[in-house]
Chain A
């Protein structure tokens, strides 16, 4: 019961406190001279977020980065030994390759399909039903999704009754069953498909939300002028959606690089399916090597730096346009 009260107080209290902080702070700020006002105001608005980010992300990340140069139990400085290990050990190199697979195929397919579906369902009367159907996998946790896909990928030896949906379908068409998750030719694709299955709905809903923000008058005017739907999508909708597509694409790439749950629950990285994040986790738990785990994390972080540059550039372009 105590927990219920605490939760209730938090739900009501936090917005009220923030509102009070905002209104009271603004009243004080407005009394300050102009220069000081514009100097202090942004920090005042961003202070709660900056504090959270510092305590839970900046400080721990720096701490971990330092630990990547230390030994297993963080007592001895070892220089680049942990990084050298990562780039020479076959298992870690394999996880790097798989993460690249994820990066390319997961991103292209989930963002591409999300965009296509968002545009298509915008043109039919049963849009909300179609969106619910495609969004359905998003709410499903990795634990639940792994139970779902264990049934989908289920494999029995040829001749036995196939209770897995995919192998039963293959059998109907006359093919031999495939051991999707242990066959090295299919398992990475199978895992990536689970990722695409659960992420396309996310892309679709975000893109769709921004599609809804496009003024219907612009579209009506184009239709009145006799523009075909294909031309409207190509020349009006897609350019207007581009900022959103970049944001969603960035999120997809980050999700691909950080992917952990699906691989960990479905194969635990066995049969050559490990990815960087799973590799890091196993270094941390079964390996018990905090230095190496930290080094893998830093490599993961460094892989993102190109994205960072792209985002910052776009950020600056947006500034110039305003």
Chain B
């Protein structure tokens, strides 16, 4: 009886210590993990941080000392580069053009691609493999290979230099990759969901809109980001089909500035920062769609 009473606290005390030691051990075990992530983050961030800091320095300072010298005063931060960039004719209107090109082009191609991807994933038809082989092949066709025939096509239809031309061209170029990626994603969705929906009498449009599309949201969300960025950052397509048209986007104007300036390009750090600001905001905004387990509940539900 007395033994029981005395052993109880003795048994409990070491276990509490052991628990604490174990918790510490787990934390210590995770140190390499945190270290690896932090080092990787630093290496990946430094180039961009350097650019952003340089964009707030005078061109003269950039030539005299590295960006890291601003960690200590005198820092000499200035908005001179931004004033210089935004003061250039065409810059502000080209930023507007970039938005007007990017948003519709993204919506058009993703809507069309999702539909086609569903057909390739869940319908069997003669020639499906052949069509898919063509799509996989088209994904890798260099855009340069299509430029001259398409340019002739735009000239013949009166679309050359118009914003519609770039929407259509971007959609055409982007579709193969999107259909390929979305088809693989939609095709890996659990078959039972679609079969039980079919048994319940749901047609293809219902299965597509109510099942396939909602379950593909993680893929569509990440794809939207990349399509948006691809069009936003595109140079070749806009340069070819818009040239010096007033509809030309920011990237084309920056490139024209770089080539026309030759030396003294350092103030374009500000243009580079402005160019990457919007895509980054979009990425952060869409982060919330990267939610774990969007599909995990769908079989049960």
Contact = CB atoms under 8 A, between A and B. Distances in A.
Contact of B146 (A57, A138, A260): A57
Interface stretch (A75-83, A88-96, A177-185, A251-259): A251-259
Given A134-B40, A165-B46, A139 B276 contact: yes
Nearest to B137: A308
B275 interface: yes
Nearest to A257: B140
A55 B150 CA distance: 8
A80 B283 CA distance: 47
A133 B149 CA distance: 41
B51 A212 contact: no
Contact of A46 (B120, B218, B272): B120
B146 A10 contact: no
Nearest to B191: A322
Contacts of B37: 117, 120-121, 124, 130
Contacts of B218: 209-210, 212-213
A294 interface: yes
Contacts, number: 315
Contacts of A161: 64-66
Interface in A268-314: 277, 280-281, 284, 290, 293-294, 297, 300-301, 304, 307-308, 311-312
Interface of B: 33-34, 36-37, 40-41, 44-48, 50-51, 54, 62-68, 97, 99-100, 103-104, 107-109, 111-113, 115-116, 118-120, 123-125, 128-129, 131-142, 144-150, 153, 163-164, 167-169, 171-173, 175-177, 179-181, 184, 187-188, 191, 203-205, 208, 218-219, 221-222, 225-226, 229, 232-233, 235-236, 247, 251, 254-255, 258, 265, 268-269, 271-273, 275-276, 279-280, 282-284, 287, 290-296
Interface of A: 3-4, 6-7, 10-11, 14-15, 18, 22-23, 26, 30, 38-39, 41-43, 45-46, 48-50, 52-53, 55-61, 63-64, 113, 117, 120-121, 123-124, 128, 130-144, 147-149, 151-152, 161-165, 168, 197, 200-202, 205-206, 208-210, 212-213, 215-217, 243, 247, 251, 254, 257-258, 260-261, 277, 280-281, 284, 290, 293-294, 297, 300-301, 304, 307-308, 311-312, 315-316, 318, 322
